Amino acid sequence: MAEGETRPRLLLRLVQEGRLDLLRDELGPDNMLSTEVQSRRYGRSGDTLLHHAARYGHQDVLAYLVEVLGMDIEVFNSDYKRPLHEAASMGHRECVSYLLEKGANVDCLKKADWTPLMMACTRQNLEVIKVLVEHGANPLLKNKDGWNCFHIASREGHPQVLRYLLDVSPGSWDTESTIKRTPLHTAAMHGCFDVVELLLERCQYKPDSRDKCGVTPFMDAIQNGHVNIARLLLEKHQEGHTHTIKTLLSLGADVHAKDGKSRSALHAACAGQQADAARILLHAGLQDAPDSTGTLAWQLARKPDVIQVFQETNIST
């Protein structure tokens, strides 16, 4: 024991470091401290040693605490988080499998109604997600904000997770939060281009679907400077963008926002061959300027009506 280190702190350190041999020695052959170990809570969250073993991914320590010391696999902390939540959120497949094989509730809820599957979807460890689903985890459950695991994976930008969820639960995309935001809204707002592309390809979101504040995925993309996503939405969702842009302007949105390649909303409108959108942006004072490759927005115009917009504003094409 290190100088000044109490026995509870020593036990915690050994569990976190995965030192099962030293943990056994400290507890003694008859496990005389098993009652203390079972009841001990650590920190403000009230975690047990079982939570820490799951969080750090030490499956052998986890098994020792459960099988030898008799700790309850459903023990929860002050946030109602179980060891399965910890293992799933940190991507420890062996610990997740062990807990499920020992009978852990696959859809147990922590504070705010998060399931282990939801927490696993905050990471890209597809193997953990598969283990949970194969043990009966329900992808359609929602947390208190109305998000299911598909929504969460859309925010995190994990297309491979989303493809798997669509395969095992084809209807998981068709969901809204409590404020009527779809996974498409979320992916567009967070700049997850690959996810937006996948959602437009495999899901049937309505063009310009609005949340409770009237915000569309296109608005989310423009307001957060993700012009490449705005362009993609213009190309795939041809309806209603004139009204959307007018709404953006009325809300004081920065129409001069550019993406990482210096492309503006005007580039997006021209790439999507949206004449009315281009006209509104030009009338709002947005100047055509070259992107990082030297390409002007008008050079992307192909349809006669889009070309006409620039001719009307005396921009030579």
184 belongs to a structural domain = no
d(CA 201, CA 251): 30
Q: Which two tokens stand for residue 63?
A: 């098994």
- Checking if the pLDDT of 2 tops 60, the result is no
Under 8 Å between Cβ of 71 and 37:
yes
- Checking if the pLDDT of 142 tops 50, the result is yes
Q: How many Cα atoms occupy the beta-carbon half-sphere of 196 within 13 Å?
A: 26
- Checking if the pLDDT of 10 tops 70, the result is yes
Q: Identify the domain containing residue 79 by its residue range.
A: 1-105
Q: What is the pLDDT of residue 293?
A: 92
30 belongs to a structural domain = yes
73 belongs to a structural domain = yes
Q: Which two tokens stand for residue 209?
A: 């679907």
12 belongs to a structural domain = yes
State the average pLDDT for the chain.
Answer: 88
**Residue bearing tokens 């210096």:** 262
Mean pLDDT lowest among 25-29, 94-98, 133-137, 182-186:
25-29
Q: Which two tokens stand for residue 195?
A: 């996810």
Mean pLDDT lowest among 38-52, 128-142, 241-255:
241-255
Under 8 Å between Cβ of 62 and 99:
yes
Under the banding of pLDDT at 50, 70 and 90, the label for residue 317 is very low
250 belongs to a structural domain = no
d(CA 183, CA 174): 9
69 belongs to a structural domain = yes
Domain count, the chain: 1
Mean pLDDT of 30-35: 70
Q: What is the pLDDT of residue 316?
A: 46
d(CA 61, CA 243): 59
71 — phi, psi (to 5°)?
-75, 150
Under 8 Å between Cβ of 175 and 209:
no
Mean pLDDT lowest among 41-45, 60-64, 265-269:
265-269
Q: What is the pLDDT of residue 239?
A: 46
pLDDT for 265-302, tens place per residue?
788 778 778 787 788 788 777 888 898 899 998 898 88
72 belongs to a structural domain = yes
d(CA 274, CA 290): 19
109 — phi, psi (to 5°)?
-110, 135
Q: What is the pLDDT of residue 232?
A: 83
Under the banding of pLDDT at 50, 70 and 90, the label for residue 146 is very high
> What percent of the chain has a predicted confidence (pLDDT) above 90?
58
CATH of the domain at 14: 1.25.40.20
In SS3 terms, the chain reads as: CCCCCCHHHHHHHHHHHCCHHHHHHHHCCCCCCHHHHHHCCECCCCECHHHHHHHHCCHHHHHHHHHCCCCCCCCCCCCCCCHHHHHHHHCCHHHHHHHHHCCCCCCCCCHHHCCHHHHHCCCCCHHHHHHHHHCCCCCCCCCCCCCCHHHHHHHHCCHHHHHHHHHHCHHHHCCCCCCCCCHHHHHHHCCCHHHHHHHHHHCCCCCCCCCCCCCCHHHHHHHCCCHHHHHHHHHHCCCCHHHHHHHHHHCCCCCCCECCCCCEHHHHHHHCCCHHHHHHHHHCCCCCCCCCCCCCHHHHCCCHHHHHHHHHCCCCC
- Checking if the pLDDT of 208 tops 80, the result is no
Under the banding of pLDDT at 50, 70 and 90, the label for residue 315 is low
Query: Which of the two residues, 89 and 222, has the higher pLDDT score?
Result: 89
Q: What is the pLDDT of residue 158?
A: 93
306 belongs to a structural domain = no
- Checking if the pLDDT of 20 tops 90, the result is yes
